Chain A
Amino acid sequence: AQTVTQSQPEMSVQEAETVTLSCTYDTSESDYYLFWYKQPPSRQMILVIRQEAYKQQNATENRFSVNFQKAAKSFSLKISDSQLGDAAMYFCASGYQKVTFGIGTKLQVIP
């Protein structure tokens, strides 16, 4: 069984500042992926970043980066230089054959 925990229901960040969203997971699988997805008000799920669990190097995608701590089963998302368009629900997810999602963190960006 897999569980994904996002302990921050809501976060806010000033435009151009940096924010970190937390995520912890638990899995019995030896091989799995970790994801962060963004869901704006349109409700389209958009892949933000992807990490293979066997890779030690943290994934980065432009302003988005992760801090992957495998032993601690932690997978946080850092958004640098926050923009108004970053405002959305952010879901952390874990899995291989099937992906389990956390309950989401609502990110507000303050102009």
Chain B
Amino acid sequence: GAVVSQHPSWVICKSGTSVKIECRSLDFQATTMFWYRQFPKQSLMLMATSNEGSKATYEQGVEKDKFLINHASLTLSTLTVTSAHPEDSSFYICSARTGGAQDTQYFGPGTRLTVL
């Protein structure tokens, strides 16, 4: 299957700082990428849909000024958690959509964010 990388795999930061997470599709171009959040022992919660060259579409209840998404190229989307607080600590997962006849989402390995 297609490969999606995510960096960093884990990050610890102080409250009030900003953290950037990168999501890359390594062997295909993805016009659409998705950002999810997963709490322990729970399912994936879609935060936003990231479309290359346009503004991201945020799900209800997700603060767009808090979670900044940029999809500057067909292989890279970034999620920046601004002014992070302990309640933002979570596991963040990105996925990239292949499109085409075998349209499928492939997932990155996730980023564990801990805000102190």
Contact = CB atoms under 8 A, between A and B. Distances in A.
Interface of A: 33, 35, 37, 42-47, 50, 91, 97-104
A93 to B, nearest CB: 8
Interface stretch (B19-27, B72-80, B106-114): B106-114
Chain B interface residue bracket vs A: 10 to 19
Contacts, number: 42
Give the secondary structure class of B's interface: strand
A44 B110 contact: yes
23 contacts: A35-B105, A37-B107, A42-B109, A43-B93, A43-B110, A44-B107, A44-B109, A44-B110, A45-B44, A45-B95, A45-B110, A46-B107, A47-B104, A47-B106, A50-B102, A50-B104, A91-B43, A91-B44, A100-B46, A101-B44, A102-B43, A103-B43, A104-B43
A35 B103 CA distance: 11
Question: Which of B1, B43, B106, B107 has the largest number of chain A CB atoms within 10 A?
Answer: B43
B91 interface: yes
